[in-house]
């Protein structure tokens, strides 16, 4: 974002058009990244969790306000894409259940939906713990390298 200078005399429509084009480009990039993750082209160690995200946010705040806003937008787009995954408990899962109910005419019971949501939550929690432990390991490695 530093190399993009927005003219303060631009009208609202020009700014909205620019923002929309940047959002679409970032959304496409995020979809490419997520598809690479699911295909298996990205190693698990490349993930970052809450500690890594906090570090990235602090680095962006120390850089400039525009970099912080850009980073914040990227994080929000990523969370939005994850929320659209067709997994129970996420909005994408709710859409899949609604489509199944409408197209097939088979009503998935609330009991099964809740069971699937709990299973998804357990998997997400296990992934969160594993990624957080990787974050701690990366942080401790960084500390040990910088103190040498």
Range 139-146 average pLDDT:
86
- For the chain, the average pLDDT equals 84
pLDDT of amino acid 129: 93
pLDDT value of position 121: 92
87 CB neighbour count, 10 Å cutoff: 20
Closest CA to 48 of 39, 56, 38: 56
Residue 71: how many CB atoms within 10 A of its CB?
A: 18
- Give the rounded distance of the alpha carbon of 9 from its chain centre: 33
| Beta-sheet strands, E only, within the chain | none
- What does the alpha-carbon distance between residue 112 and residue 2 come to, in Å, rounded to a whole number? 49
Q: What is the pLDDT of residues 36-81, one digit of tens each?
A: 877 888 887 888 888 989 989 999 999 988 889 888 888 888 888 8
Q: State the average pLDDT over residues 31-38.
A: 82
pTM given for the model: 0.69
Q: What is the pLDDT of residues 75-113, one digit of tens each?
A: 888 888 888 888 888 999 989 888 888 888 878 888 988
pLDDT at position 122 is 94
Determine the pLDDT at residue 7.
52
Is 1 strand, coil or helix? coil
């Amino acid at each position: 974002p530093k190399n993009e200078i927005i003219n303060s005399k631009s009208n609202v429509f020009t700014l909205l058009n620019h923002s929309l084009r940047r959002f679409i480009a970032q959304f496409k990039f995020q979809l490419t990244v997520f598809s690479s993750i699911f295909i298996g082209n990205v190693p698990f160690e490349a993930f970052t969790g809450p500690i890594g995200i906090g570090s990235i946010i602090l680095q962006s705040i120390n850089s400039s306000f525009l970099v912080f806003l850009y980073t914040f937008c990227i994080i929000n787009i990523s969370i939005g894409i994850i929320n659209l995954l067709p997994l129970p408990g996420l909005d994408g899962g709710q859409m899949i259940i609604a489509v199944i109910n409408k197209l097939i005419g088979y009503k998935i019971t609330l009991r099964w939906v809740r069971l699937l949501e709990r299973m998804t939550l357990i998997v997400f929690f296990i992934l969160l713990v594993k990624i957080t432990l990787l974050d701690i390991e990366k942080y401790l490695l960084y500390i040990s390298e910088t103190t040498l």
